Amino acid sequence: MTNKRILVDMDGVIADFDGEFLKRWRDRHPDKLYYPLEERTVFYVKDQYPEELKPLVEEILWEPTFFRDMMPIAGAREALLEMAAVGLEVFICTSPLSTYRNCVLEKYEWVERTPGAQWVRQIILTKDKTLIRGDLLIDDKPEITGVESVPSWEHVIYDRPYNRNMNNKRRITWENWRDVLGF
Ligand code: U2P
Ligand code: MG
């Protein structure tokens, strides 16, 4: 496996997007519908909520500090460092929101602070991950599509409640990644 290029997604894989959203949602709208992570059935958090609540969901995702303040997903930092230490070529491959103003800068700030400054140069920010060449893409999104219908990478799905309907892909967590990838 060494000499391979591993593309590691950010939100939902190394950065706890849903934890940050749920914390802000609960604080700000304690009286409103609340879906804990375990009850999420769809990838986009906005799609889980009824039409009249969607603007309130977006308000949180678009506001300053949302992308900056996410907690790391347990084990992610250690896994990135271990992968790099065994000689894998590791990149952080993430898509920005189209409402990008806070998201783009804050993703860079998060990487600088969390895995560390040397990881900033490993960031690949793209709306289309199929264009990026790699051996594996570790990503929580159930299906990753783009202009390349046959991407170079194998999509290894990072296990989250909202992607458990996908059973045709290898499934990984930061607890079992060594076994799944064969280390
Ligand atoms: O939509 C662009 C990117 O933002 C993150 N995202 C957005 C909405 C949502 O409900 N959940 C979510 O994760 C994803 O970023 P990534 O995983 O690529 O870092 C999504 O691709
Ligand atoms: Mg993701």
Q: What is the pLDDT of residues 32-48, one digit of tens each?
A: 999 999 999 999 999 99
Rg for the chain, CA atoms, rounded: 16
Q: What is the pLDDT of residues 53-110, one digit of tens each?
A: 999 999 999 999 999 999 999 999 999 999 999 999 999 999 999 999 999 999 999 9
- Angle, CA 111 vertex, CA 128 and CA 17 arms, to 5°: 70
Q: What pairing do the DSSP bridges indicate for beta strands 123-125 and 136-139?
A: unpaired
From 95, 98, 127, give the residue whose CB has the most ligand 1 atoms within 8 Å, as the site to mutate: 95
Ligand nearest to the backbone CA of 158: 2
Q: What pLDDT score does 38 carry?
A: 98
Residue 129 Cα: closest atom of ligand 1:
18
Residue 45: Cβ-neighbour burial (10 angstroms; 0-12, 13-18, 19+): buried
- Active-site residue flag, 140: no
For a pLDDT cut of 70, what percent of the chain falls above it? 99
Centre of ligand 2 to C-alpha 5, Å, is: 18
Per-residue pLDDT at 1 exceeds 70:
no
pTM: 0.97
- Mean pLDDT value across the chain: 97
- For ligand 1, atom 17, name the residue with the nearest CA: 11
9 CB near ligand 1 (under 6 Å): yes
Ligand nearest to the backbone CA of 22: 1
Hey, what long-range contacts does 16-23 have (CB within 8 A, 24 or more apart)? 16/70, 16/71, 16/72, 16/73, 17/45, 17/70, 18/45, 18/160, 19/70, 19/71, 20/66, 20/69, 20/70, 20/71, 21/45, 21/57, 21/60, 21/61, 21/66
Centre of ligand 2 to C-alpha 69, Å, is: 16
- For ligand 1, atom 9, name the residue with the nearest CA: 44
Distance CA 12, CA 158 (A): 8
Q: What is the pLDDT of residues 116-126, one digit of tens each?
A: 999 999 999 99
Q: What pLDDT score does 146 carry?
A: 98
